[in-house]
Structure formats: C-alpha cells, structure tokens
Structure 1
C-alpha cells in the first residue's frame, strides 16, 4: 500500500482545517476590495506575494536542506500556478467584478481539480464526487442569483477567475501526485519565497509604491488589508491548505471553495445585507454537495 495514499474518510482535523480555510479565504475578497481603494491591481498582487514569501523565510531556513534537485522545478511551478499568477488574476478581475461574483466563480476550482486529475494525472474519480460537485455548483448558483443584489452578470473579467481556478487545479494535483515527500510548510514556504523576490522588485522599481506609502495616513487601511491578505490569507492559509492536501485528497481540499461564498454571505449579513430564503437553500446545497463528494462509500456485505 502506498504510504502517501489519502484515507478514505477525511479525519476530523482535516474538516476543522477546511473550515478555518473557508473563514480566511472567505474574507479575502473584502481585503482585496479594501486594498484596491489605494493600490493598483498589480501593486496589490505583488505586495501580497512579497509579504507572504518573506514572512515564511525564518521558518524555512532549516528546511531547505530537505529540498533536492528534482524538487526545485516543481516548487517553482507551485509558486507560480498556486500563488503568483492567481494573485494577479484575482486582483485585476476584482476591479470589474463584485467580490461576491468573484467568490462564486472561484467555486469552479473543485471541477477544474477533478477534471485535471482525471485527464492529466490519471486519477480515478467516483461517481459520487461528480455528483457532489454538481450539487455544490447548484447551491452556488442559488447564492449568486438570489434577489437583485445577487444577480449574476458575467463579463470577460470572469475569464480571469476561471483561469485562476485552472491554476489552482493544476497546483493541487501537482502537490498531491508529485511532491508527496515534502512537508506542507516546506512546500508553501519555499515555493512562495521563490516567487517573492521578483514580486518585490516589481513592486519597488516598476510602480510608485514607495512614493505612495510615504503618505502613510492615506494608505494605512489599504496597506493593512493587503498585508493581512498576504501574511494570513496567503502564507498561513497555504500552509493549512497544503496540510489538508496531505491529509486527504484533492477533491476534499478543493471543496473549501464551496464554503467560501457562505463566509462571504455571512460577512455581508453582518454588514447589513439582506438574507433571503434562496440564500439558505444555496448554503444547504453547498454543504450537502461537499458531504456527498467526500463521504465513505458503503460496501454491501457478501
């Protein structure tokens, strides 16, 4: 039996970490919105990646010796498709898309993950996984189309989010199938650090970032939002995310994207937005879809 094979039933630890991820990433769209009040999308993305990569540096110094020559190309790929490219795609997309729509489009990640896993990485998918993903997408549709405030208006910027979900799908499968021998912290820290220097150089020398932050009072809210986004929403969250990948499978881990719109909806209600009956049905469908996709298959006794 392969020691890296995921358990059939996700452990309680994996479920708790999944919920924590949903809380962190469900808040990220609001942080992006606050960051864009002051910074351009390329500045926001570069600062996000630079802060995430640099904050983990002290934790990975002693772990670099575990990285062998064949790991480096894979870790660079993880840094690019798992963090760097999606950060820019989301930042530019959210200049023209509401944060709620962005969060909903992000739920294409499980489908992208499963399709890439089946057709590229030769992963075997169960019918119940396809069913769970379909139910989750139905719930997401209910959330985004509930009432006038949730009306879905797709434009070309939505394609940027879909491209980001493909990146996430590639990243999930790459970690699960090709880097099973490195810890989650090593994968996250090293991959982020590899892409942090170009992001930092771009931020400092290709944008007016230094001049902007010299007037600290005018940028402090946006700066704080992006730093939290980078340190907590990217660095810490990716350590948790990669831990869940190691504990379970790619379909379970990518299910976090179904929970993210629920968090965003709750934050909206706390901010005074209405809660409609369709929201309740949508949330129930999402949770049911996640359960279906990850429940144990019962075998009939002989």
Structure 2
C-alpha cells in the first residue's frame, strides 16, 4: 500500500477547513431537530436523504456503483464505524448537552486515532510529538468533563461518554476507510456506498424502535435542519472526507475535529443562545496544544525561528 503524506498542502488544508464547517454545522442541525425526532430517526433521515442525493449524483456524472459483495461488506463496515455508531451516540448525547460542548468533546477524535493508527497501520506510527498530543488531549477532555464525572454516572456524564464513544468510533472508521484507496473507488462512490449501506440498516431500526409516524408533524425549521444535516453535513462532507483520507491519512484527516467546535460554537451561541463554561474554553485550548503537537509543524516552525534569532 502506498504511504500517505505526513503533511498537508494548501489544497488539503482548504478542504479540511471546508469539512470542519460542514461537520460543525451538523451539531447545530441536530440541536434544532433533536426535540422533534428520536435519535435513530434523525440518523436514518440523515443517511437516507444523503444516500438519495449521492446516488443521483453518481448517475448524473455517469459513474456506476460496484456490485462486488466484498466491497459492499467494506461499505457496511465503514458505515457502521463512521455513521451508525457515532451519529446515534452524538444525537442521543445532544439531548442532554449543548451542541458546542458536544463538538468540543468530539475534538478528542485525533487522540484516539493516533493510538489506534500506531497499532493498526504501518505508516502512521506514534512519535514523541504525537504522544505529547495524546496526553494533552486527554487532559483537555478531562478538564471539560469536570470533577462531577467522578461523583457518579449522572445523565449528563453518560451523554459526555456517549460523545467520546462516537469519537472512538470515528477514529477506527478513519483507519478502516484507508482500504478504499486500494479498491479503486472514487471519493463519491465510497461516500455513496457508505451511506447507502447505513440506510439499509438504520431505516428499519428507526421504524421499529421509535415509530416516528406516531409523533406530531415537525415544524418547517426542523425539516430544514434535517435537509442541511443530510445534504451538507453528510453527502457533501463525506465526499471531502474520503478525498482527504486518500491523500493525507487518518491522523491528519481527523485534525478536522479541532476545527469543528469553532463553527459549532459560533452557530450555537449566535443562533441558539447557548453558553459555554470557562472550563470548556480551557479544555479546547489544551486540546489545541495537543493537536499542534500531533501535527508537529507549528512547534517545528517556532523552533526554527528561535534558533535563527
């Protein structure tokens, strides 16, 4: 397997920033929809509508979805790790904590990725900088959760753990998704296969468990949030996701989760009137130092400047 790039160029950073905006918006969209639908229904609508849009895009540009059973098994595995588990945990968690706080906890994804990639890949091994980043990241997450987590499993603590569980699932999903580089799938086909396979599982699950047809008809803004979640934060976002993953690797790709809280917090505070506590800002600052250590280049640039003076 061809090794991935250890650093990112201007194109990759631009795509990463765009992806952070799309995924940051997902926390806002979920916050709008979470009082109208159950978690499985929101996730089923998210992947189902995204699957329709992406399949139409595949047909429109003249591509064909593969029929190979092994490839669809891989799509299902990717959907399980990257859609079914994390989407459901995040939506459930956001019924108890704010979108901004959820997005900050989700920023722990790169630290779980660094650990998993060290043991499961040959070209994304742990370095001293990445180890320092992991330690700082864990410290940042602990500072955000706070001492109340040690006093018992309260509902909001379980919600926080659910978001961390989603982050772990994303980490393994990023590593699992590396295989599509060698399977001859374009980012569009891979994204389409992933959400289509997820839809096949999640729609029946939502219908059986939550019976959404028994709920009151949601308001227009809820449907708008669902469409934004499906078309922008899922369909378009995963095209960018697999494009970045193919060239820069799982560890670099999931640095996006530090950028996500910025857009999520801005949306949550300006539109939903949410507030973050001081410990959340401390946590995000520590996580930022951790991600800088994982990336390595900011500290390398600083060392070169200091040595030249």
Alignment TM-score > 0.5, same fold:
yes
Partner residue of 2:3 out of 2, 5, 25: 5
Q: Give the Cα–Cα distance (whole angstroms) in 2 for the partners of residues 277 and 111 of structure 1.
A: 22
Q: CA deviation at 1:75?
A: 1.2
What corresponds to 1:124 in structure 2?
125
Query: 2 CA distance for matches of 1:282 and 1:205?
Result: 39
2:96 counterpart residue number: 96
1:192 to 2:195 alignment: yes
TM-score between the two structures when normalised by the length of structure 2: 0.79
TM superposition shift of 1:205: 6.7
The gaps in structure 2 that reach 5 residues or longer are: 147-153, 305-309
Matched ranges for 1:147-296 at <5 A = 155-177=157-179, 179-180=181-182, 181-203=184-206, 207-210=210-213, 212=215, 215=217, 218-271=218-271, 285-295=286-296
Shift of residue 267, structure 1, vs aligned partner? 3.0
The whole-number CA distance in structure 2 between the counterparts of 1:7 and 1:90 is: 30
Q: Distance in 1 between matches of 2:275 and 2:164?
A: 28
**Distance in 2 between residues matched to 1:78 and 1:174, nearest whole Å:** 7
Superposition TM-score, scaled by structure 1 size: 0.80
Alignment partner, residue 150 of structure 1: none
CA distance 1:172–1:140, shift in 2 (3 Å): same
Shift of 1:27: 2.2
8 Å Cα contact 2:29/2:225 also seen in 1:
yes
Q: In 2 relative to 1, CA 85–274 (structure 1 residues): closer, same or farther, beyond 3 Å?
A: closer
Q: Provide the residue aligned with 1:148 in structure 2.
A: none
Choose between structure 1 and 2: higher helix proportion.
Answer: 2
Distance 1:36 1:276, change over 3 A: closer
Distance 1:76 1:208, change over 3 A: closer
Structure 2 partner of 1:149: none
Specify every segment of 5 or more residues in structure 1 that has no aligned partner in the other structure, as ranges. 146-152
Whole-angstrom distance in 2 between the partners of 1:190 and 1:113:
23
Distance 2:8 2:211 in 1: 47
String of CA shifts for 1:151-200, please: whole Å, max 9, x gaps.
xx852232322221222111100111464332221111111112223433
| Other structure's SS at 1:39 match | coil
